[in-house]
Amino acid sequence: MLSNQDKKVLSRLQENGRMSIVELAKATDMSESTCLRRTKSLEESGVIKGYSALLDAEEAGFGITAFIQVSIDQKSEAAFDKFKTAVQEHPLILECYSLSGPFDHLMKVVARTNKELSQFILKTLRNFPEVREAQTLFVLDEVKHTSALPISMHDAVR
């Protein structure tokens, strides 16, 4: 369970992960030592998994985004493991989720060009272990994109 102080720290770090402990302490009305201790505790417990820069995909040269729904031929654990390993090793796949429903997985894929995405689908994905069927959905417009969790709403939703 997150304390109110933890929520303050997390909310501020989601806004600016480069914030110094001094700035974070001021923004959360905590002492620097308390703020540092809370942050380290959140890192050690795995609530904070790491820090990274958020890039604009289009500005970074990856103007094509697609979601690919994938069905796997065999439903054994070994088949899923082979597929997962292939997914984890491919750099164009940003996210992949196991699903309930008619498809087994949903992948978020980026590419620099339509040709690059086409090659990924027709050559690479078809060679992934156990892939039976894939359906590609091209993103036309990004309506909302965030990685920030609604920490400040945590208590309000209850």
Q: What is the pLDDT of residue 157?
A: 41
Q: CA 56, 61, 64, 68 torsion: positive or negative?
A: negative
Q: What is the pLDDT along the chain (158 residues), one digit of tens a residue?
A: 899 999 999 999 999 999 999 999 999 999 999 999 999 999 999 999 999 999 999 999 999 999 999 999 877 888 888 899 999 999 999 999 999 999 999 999 999 999 999 999 999 999 888 899 999 999 999 999 999 999 975 454 44
DSSP symbols for 103-135: -SEEEEEEESSHHHHHHIIIIIGGGSTTEEEEE
Domains, the chain: 4-53 (1.10.10.10), 64-138 (3.30.70.920)
Backbone angles phi and psi of 101, in degrees to 5: 105, -165
Please give the order of strands across the beta sheet that includes 105-111.
Answer: 93-98, 105-111, 64-72, 131-138
